Chains A and B, each alone.
Chain A
């Protein structure tokens, strides 16, 4: 993205889901999950030269952690497309990310209790 793409490449609003990823699907390299949390790593001003979808992602998760699923929903893009874009932004240092805990045989009682406490407070 820092090399090669410019605003002139902006495909406009009426694009097929994978036009925004230049046809790349499933090539995200970070093992991203629907629950991977991402957050902008730099101030918004730094992203001025990026394509619109990238800037949209960075805007959505500036100052707050958002899941890949939420990003996809807000941007009205397929999860697979968003993963490619998020992956690009991680590669270029614009996003930091946190994977969900791996599915483990042993449940984490403290975590479950924390979730229970949180739900009780609703």
Chain B
């Protein structure tokens, strides 16, 4: 055994669990800002190399200039309890990249789509992606100064998403506001999981025919 007097406890990861929530949305919608405002650490950046990318990739931190394309994502951490750690991954704004990053989305508890009402169409890709993969999500409308404020139904209609999907305005710079968005997502996840448990045949999200 590795028990040693200078270790507070013998190394043990029994019961330890890391879970993730994706923060998706268009480039510049405030994803990293939201992660920063609720994370217990300054957001970290990690990179993955993607091999299947085609040529002709543009913008976003110069990835297009590299022959080997790496995709960066920023993430934060929230320690939930002694066993569970929650990671918030801000997906790269250029959807063409992270769509190929399967590891990022597989197993995610859920997602927050951050929308900028000045450029609502920027998050269509994220919505499509999450719907296709049955990852439950809510929409948070980041209220930039001077941006047109659409009400929640207008946003829902513009994004063509169901009425069961919560939409909430927020200010991603504000910790309290970002925390409320995170709570809203988790309440939604708990509620949908409970509903699915009671009615297994009609589990949400409307699943693909099996």
Contacts and interface: CB of A to CB of B under 8 A. Distances in A.
Contacts of A101: 17, 19, 107
B84 A118 contact: yes
A35 B19 contact: yes
Given A35-B20, A109-B197, 15 more contacts: A34-B48, A39-B12, A40-B11, A43-B2, A43-B7, A73-B45, A78-B49, A79-B49, A98-B13, A100-B18, A107-B109, A111-B19, A112-B189, A114-B80, A119-B182
Nearest to A74: B44
Contacts of B106: 103
B44 A73 contact: yes
Interface of A: 17, 25, 33-37, 39-43, 63, 65, 67, 69-70, 72-74, 78-80, 96-98, 100-103, 105-109, 111-120, 122
Given A35-B107, A78-B70, A122 B38 contact: yes
Interface residues of B, number: 50
Interface of B: 2, 4, 6-8, 11-14, 16-20, 38, 44-49, 70, 75, 77-81, 84-87, 103-104, 106-107, 109, 179, 182-183, 186-187, 189-190, 192-194, 196-197, 203
Contact of A116 (B16, B47, B183, B196): B183
A50 B196 CA distance: 50
A118 B103 contact: no
Nearest to B18: A35
A117 B187 CA distance: 10
Nearest to B84: A114
A98 B18 CA distance: 9
Nearest to A32: B103
Contacts, number: 137
B18 A37 contact: yes
Contacts of B44: 69-70, 73-74
A34 B81 contact: no
Contacts of B6: 43
B201 to A, nearest CB: 13
13 contacts: A33-B103, A33-B107, A74-B44, A96-B12, A112-B189, A115-B80, A115-B84, A115-B86, A116-B183, A116-B189, A118-B81, A118-B86, A119-B183
